[in-house]
Amino acid sequence: MNPFHPLRGRRLSAVGLLAATALLAAGTAAAAPDATTVKASTLGAQAAQSGRYFGTAAAAGKLGDSTYSTILDREFNMITPENEMKWDTTERSRGSFNFGPADQIVNHAAAHGQRMRGHTLVWHSQLPGWVSSITDATTLRSVMKTHITTEMNHFKGKIYAWDVVNEAFADGSSQHRGSVFQNVLGNGFIEEAFRTARAADPAAKLCYNDYNIEDWNAAKTQGVYAMVRDFKSRGVPIDCVGFQSHFGTGGPPASFQTTLSNFAALGVDVQITELDIAQAPATAYANTVKACMNVARCKGITVWGVRDSDSWRTGQKPLLFDNNGNKKPAYNAVLTALGGTPATTARASAAALPSSFRWSSSGALIAPKPDSTHNIAGIKDPSVVYYNGKYHVFASVASSSGYSLVYLSFSDWSQAGSATHHYLDRGAIGTGYRAAPQIFYFAPQKLWYLVYQTGNASYSTNADISNPNGWSAPRNFYASMPDIIRQNIGGGYWVDMWVICDSARCYLFSSDDNGHLYRSQTGLSQFPNGFTNTVIAAQDSNKFALFEASNVYKVQGSNQYLLIVEAIGSDGRRYFRSWTSGSIAGSWTPLAATESNPLARATNVTFPAGAWTKDISHGEMIRAGYDQTLTIPSCRLQYLYQGLNPNASGNYNTLPWRLGLLTQTNSTC
Ligand code: 9MR
């Protein structure tokens, strides 16, 4: 946002902003995406379109392998730790818990907007000797309950579903297998485990997980089915059954879909939890996915590893990616069975986002809270991340005397209005012109960055986002305004700095209120230093069509980046245009980029709580994660924005801006 211009663009008469105004990007724009194409080009994004997830097992020790983590974060939106949550890692000796390796995966998932399955709490295998040698029921019962409770408490709020009990049934039989739990506690140990788990984390789904229960005619399947039926009839808490699905070359048994739907009919979700198929025949994979797609309560599919080289059965090459991370034929078969379009037959950047948008707006949720030293008229330019169970909002506060920054946090939007406002000018960020913040976690340095404008592009860092006093003093990204900006800024203002990184580089965008979007770059390992090669990323001869408040995001589960830019419409009101690109530095293709088909404008927003604003102005998408990749979901977008009483007038800096939340209503998933 531009802090100084009083009238800047407000009620400008007939600026003649035309839909067709060209956005000149570096390179030429490709044809606009087909309006009917909403198929995604990755497994997770495509599964999400039917309300399902697509996950993989992952190993903490491989997160640093960039081939591995690139595929992990591109394709999968659910992660199961392959070994890190098992008893022999988490409680190797009695009462001594180690959650470090699992935390690495959980943190990675949170930063990339992925959900987690917890695997596994009670299992006869990978069980330390001190547990399997217990012979006394009172001791074992206490040990089992402590283990479940301590582990679930540690990960509380972060796990979608737990495999509470794993592989408790004997091969080829409808009876429990022998194990220390079975032998010492008897048949009731499974029920005891589920009851303990429900008490520990009532919000997590509780699953029973097993292998060789996919064939409806197998004795083991019947044994598990009878147990689930019994649990449901007696009110023993169970929410889901996991079918591991470690298949031979033939793939799933013919009755697999019948099995899934019969279990679902008992009132539990079903999930495919550890899928791999010897030699990975495309048809066998497709049949497995179709069985799930045909059962409404089949909520998702997890494959047991990323590349063949990551598999526990690596010699059988059972996974979707080869040792080099290339997609195998089974990959395309799975994507197609999920309803998607493999890249070989569609544009590589097939749109995960629709090409037109509709939104519903909240009322004004956040108003300024002036105090004795902050005589504030408006709260503006919000940046927001959801982290550790809370929304953390940073915003500009404006008054006739200038701009500074404020921080507030809350767990739910209904609490936003009552949150305490912490003025950041009280700490090392200091007083003076600081505005238009952007917040993100820079994972390589384990530090939060707050980027903002001071006349230069500035930043502060903090190890703890929730500590408003922890921010460092401002530092500048540039020694001075880059030449290309000086040459093009005209009578505009250098505003709205925005950082986004991919796996190799970080980019710094900024606007000039004069029709130019600039982009500089530096290496990921050099960040925050070394921003150079500043170029015009996009421009428009009508400055109001490409004004300010640009955001660039990675769209989760797709190859797409989304660019949104605030424009001033022919009615003088603020609204947003949008483009997509396959790379941050790429050319931008119009998505919803006109006044008549905008990303967000008063014309495509409904206001059930009353039309309190005609401006949809500077704000932030609610991200799927919180790290430097700025990943947003591909559906059900939400955008926190600044709006204004339409009758307000006067000096721009004293306008009564408030914050409201848009929620996308035309999402296909
Ligand atoms: O893939 C896991 C492998 O790395 C471990 O060595 C093995 C130890 O038992 O467990 C593997 O995962 C198993 C999962 O936890 C439960 N179902 C069977 C999986 C394959 O053995």
> Within 6 Å (CB) of ligand 1, which residues are found?
82-83, 125-126, 166, 244, 274, 312
Residue whose CA is closest, atom 3 of ligand 1?
312
pLDDT at residue 20 in the model: 30
For residue 301, the cross-strand partners are: 54, 272
pLDDT one-digit tens code per residue, 92-106: 999 999 999 999 999
pLDDT at 611 over 70: yes
- Which of 541-571 are b and which e, b meaning 16 or more Cβ less than 10 Å from the residue's Cβ? ebbbbbbbbbbbbbbbbbbbbbbbbbbbbeb
Which amino acid is residue 432, in one-letter code? G
pLDDT band at 328 (very low <50, low <70, confident <90, very high): very high
The closest alpha carbon to 651, from 453, 431, 402, belongs to 402
**Higher-confidence residue: 400 or 106?**
106
Predicted local confidence at residue 558, as pLDDT: 81
Ligand 1 pocket test target in 121, 312, 316 with most atoms within 8 Å of CB: 312
Which ligand 1 atom minimizes the distance to the CA of 304? 1
Q: Of the residues 62, 83, 207, which should be mutated to test ligand 1's pocket, given the most ligand atoms within 8 Å of the CB?
A: 83
Residue 16 φ/ψ, nearest 5 degrees: 65, 40
pLDDT at residue number 349: 37
Atom of ligand 1 nearest to the CA of 244: 17
Q: What is the pLDDT of residues 32-91, one digit of tens each?
A: 333 223 466 789 988 988 889 999 999 999 999 999 999 999 999 999 999 999 999 999
Instruction: Say how far residue 471 (Cα) sits from the centre of its chain.
Output: 25
Task: Give the per-residue pLDDT at 341.
Answer: 67
- The set of residues, in sequence order, having a beta carbon less than 8 Å from that of 129 and lying 6+ positions away, is none
- Rounded to an integer, what distance in angstroms lies between the CA atom of residue 89 and that of residue 147? 12
Catalytic sites, residue numbers:
167, 274
Contact in structure between 218 and 212 (CB atoms under 8 Å): yes
| 82 CA distance to ligand 1 middle (Å) | 7
DSSP annotation of 542 reads S
**Ligand 1 atom 21, closest CA:** 312
Q: Is the pLDDT of residue 27 over 70?
A: no
Pairing of strands 548-555, 378-387: unpaired
Nearest-CA residue for ligand 1 atom 19 is 274
Residue 630, pLDDT > 60, answer yes
Q: Work out the percent of the chain whose per-residue pLDDT is above 70.
A: 92
Burial of 302 (C-beta count, 10 Å sphere; 0-12/13-18/19+): buried
Ligand 1 nearest atom to the CA of residue 305, by list position: 1
The predicted structure's pLDDT at residue 557? 79
Task: Say whether pTM exceeds 0.75.
Answer: no
pLDDT, residue 401, reads 83
Spell out the residues 6+ positions from residue 302 whose beta carbon is closer than 8 angstroms to its own: 54, 55, 56, 57, 78, 80, 117, 271, 272, 273, 274, 275
Distance (Å) from CA 211 to ligand 1 centroid: 11
Give strand ranges (E) for 191-342: 205-210, 240-243, 246-247, 269-277, 298-303
Q: How far is the CA of 312 from the centre of ligand 1 (A)?
A: 7
- Testing ligand 1's pocket by substitution, the residue of 162, 304, 306 carrying the most ligand atoms inside 8 A of its CB is 304
List the alpha helices (DSSP H) in 201-264: 219-234, 256-264
CA-based nearest residue to 361, from 613, 634, 669: 613
Kind of pairing, strands 115-123 and 161-166? parallel
From ligand 1's centre to the CA of 89, what distance in Å? Answer: 13
Question: Measured from the CA of 211, which atom of ligand 1 is nearest?
Answer: 17
The Å distance, Cα 20 to ligand 1 centre, comes to 57
342 C-alpha vs ligand 1 centroid, how far in Å? 30
Q: Tell me what the pLDDT averaged over the chain comes to.
A: 91
Question: Which of left, alpha, beta for 212 (phi over 0: left; psi -120 to 50: alpha)?
Answer: left
Beta bridge partners of 536: 518
Mutate to test the pocket of ligand 1, among 121, 245, 274, 303 (most ligand atoms within 8 A of CB): 274
The percentage of residues in the chain with a pLDDT greater than 90, rounded to a whole number, is 84
365-393 pLDDT, tens digit per residue, is: 999 999 988 999 999 999 999 998 899 99
CA 565 remoteness from chain centre: 21
In the reported structure, the alpha carbon of residue 311 is separated from the centroid of ligand 1 by a whole-number distance in angstroms of 9
pLDDT of 500-535, one tens digit each? 999 899 999 999 999 999 999 999 999 999 999 999
The rounded distance, in Å, linking the Cα atoms of 239 and 216 is 20
